[in-house]
Structure 1
Amino acid sequence: MKIAATTLGETAGDLFAQTLKLGYFLTTIALFLIFVVTLVVQLRSRRYNPFFYWTVILSTSMAGTTMSDFMNRDASAKFLSGGATSLGWGPQGLGLGYPVGAAILISLLIAVFAVWKLTGMTFVIRDIVTFRGEALFWSAILVSNTLGTSMGDFLSDSSGLGYAGGALLVSGMLAMLLVLMKVPVVPNVLLFWFAFVLTRPLGATAGDFLTKPVAKGGLDLGTAGSSAVLLAILVGLMAYAQVRERRTALSSPESAEQEAVTQRAA
């Protein structure tokens, strides 16, 4: 689900910023506002809801895509396709480059985790039940998705690996994390966060592989068509997760006790 969400975040972000030519600046503002709205819905929910949770993951992936592009890119021909000379209203991009952009985002992510550590709250996701804990969690998610986009674009555009090569490299790193899960001395919480960051560059490279022209090493399926297919896959997975969550809730001891109380009251 995370890979589907991050890949969709890449293709949908590019759809708005590049295909529809809204530009990185306007698209970043719009997608960040969508992230805020989805986050408020998630924070107001009293229990885990897969649709709410994964919608926020998707919104951070889309916002992270254009935030990264705005930080790292500029209006040079290298980043503008179809002979365009500009892209949307406002600044075309800060042009910091992938290394500088990644360094800034890594510093921000470390700062979030440092603050999180100082609060004494748990890093175990299922045990985060407070507003402050969720605020730190989603801050880390937004920064990690933006960082992952920078990493993925660097692998695709600047490393020489290409889209498929970058995706294979990140897949290999994720496979290594899977092996490390069997090593008792390595905390699973640490592996979770490494995996969470790495799934974003996988989504970035996979998304570019699907949408970019064949001449550049992509499949040229287009941002609109790729986004539609990925959205259908993600919604299907979210529906499955919702059904499974409902079954788990109905079979829990608390649910059985509540049902008994209801029957006695009736």
Structure 2
Amino acid sequence: MADPQRTYPLWADNKVPEVTIAFWLIKILSTTVGETAADYLAVNVELGTLLTDVITVALLAIALGVQLRFRKLVPWAYWLTVVLISVVGTQITDALTDGAGVSLYISTTCFTVILAIVFWAWYRSEGTLSIRHIDTLRRELFYWVVILCTFALGTAAGDLATEALGLGFSWGVVVFGALIAATAAAAYLGVNRVLAFWIAYILTRPLGASLGDLLSQSRTYGGVGFGTVYTSVGFLVLIIALVVLVSIRKPSAEDSRTAQI
């Protein structure tokens, strides 16, 4: 196996943030924005699905290009990329389900297989799936492909649970929140933390989607009725505030030990 540090640039630092409580909060908020922002642009702004897809993919390409140019972690660039990937990941699943009529059972299965293949390729190439060592271009590219797959899979699995299986938004928040808590407990009790991290990362997508739908959808459909505008703007404000906070404050060792999965 070729040494990636010889064939690909070695970044100065790991380019993934410390996995703290703030990390998980921003991640969940970003998934909620992904669920509501695409709907807002397509429906409320009346851009339509196709134009919305083109715009968000273009924005993601720009953000990812900026992110890849940095040789160290830049929080605003990292989280901007995550937010845009959450939107695009949602759109991929929605395009298959609503546009192409693909069953959620099929899309969930397909995205699971695709994610497993990418994980296999990443591990075969780098010998690890840890986010503690995203310090070469190749590892970062693997990382972002996995992130996109987790958002697409999480969207499909979340829609399958809340819509096709009739779980509903409220119970979706409860069930996926409980699964994440169980994953955290398993990691605390000794389950491999890399495995636990990726399981939790996938589960935060349907949790965030259920939360976004619960807050934005009308009461007729089982939601609170805040609407996509207020939900998206409110969560974006929270994301910006948290990103600013983590940018000016380095997490303590205790933060990392207690919050990392």
Give the TM-score range, shorter chain.
0.7 to 0.9
Tell me the distance in 1 between the aligned counterparts of 2:113 and 2:49.
Answer: 22
Query: What do the CA deviations read for 1:209-228 (whole angstroms, capped 9, x no partner)?
Result: 11111011001111111111
Could you list the structure 1 runs, at least 4 aligned residues long, displaced by more than 4 angstroms after superposition.
none
Q: Which residue of 1 aligns with 2:172?
A: 166
Which amino acid is 2:84 matched to?
S
Q: Which residue of 1 aligns with 2:44?
A: 19
> Residues 7-156 of structure 1 correspond to what in structure 2 (within 5 A)?
7-73=32-98, 93-156=99-162
Give the C-alpha shift of residue 23 in structure 1.
3.2
The total of aligned residue pairs comes to 227
Tell me the distance in 2 between the aligned counterparts of 1:134 and 1:64.
Answer: 18
Tell me the distance in 1 between the aligned counterparts of 2:92 and 2:43.
Answer: 13
Gaps in structure 1 of 5+ consecutive residues: 74-92, 249-266
Q: Indicate if the aligned counterparts of 2:161 and 2:167 stay in contact, CA closer than 8 A.
A: yes
Identical aligned residues as a percent: 34
Structure 1 residues 121, 102: closer, same or farther in 2, change over 3 A? Answer: same
Instruction: Say which one has the larger Rg.
Output: 1
Query: What do the CA deviations read for 1:115-167 (whole angstroms, capped 9, x no partner)?
Result: 11110343221211111110000000011101111112222222222100111
Gaps in structure 2 of 5+ consecutive residues: 1-25, 253-261
Which structure carries more relative contact order (alpha carbon 8 Å, separation 6+)? 2
Q: Indicate if the aligned counterparts of 2:158 and 2:205 stay in contact, CA closer than 8 A.
A: yes
Query: What do the CA deviations read for 1:13-35 (whole angstroms, capped 9, x no partner)?
Result: 21112333333333223212211
Tell me the distance in 1 between the aligned counterparts of 2:45 and 2:160.
Answer: 23
Q: Indicate if the aligned counterparts of 1:163 and 1:205 stay in contact, CA closer than 8 A.
A: yes
Tell me the distance in 2 between the aligned counterparts of 1:200 and 1:14.
Answer: 16
Tell me the distance in 2 between the aligned counterparts of 1:9 and 1:209.
Answer: 14
Query: What do the CA deviations read for 1:56-94 (whole angstroms, capped 9, x no partner)?
Result: 110111111111111111xxxxxxxxxxxxxxxxxxx11
Tell me the distance in 2 between the aligned counterparts of 1:145 and 1:43.
Answer: 20
CA RMSD of aligned residues (A): 1.5
Q: Which residue of 2 aligns with 1:258?
A: none
> Residues 171-250 of structure 1 correspond to what in structure 2 (within 5 A)?
171-184=177-190, 186-245=191-250
Structure 1 residues 64, 212: closer, same or farther in 2, change over 3 A? Answer: same
SS in 2 for 1:181: helix
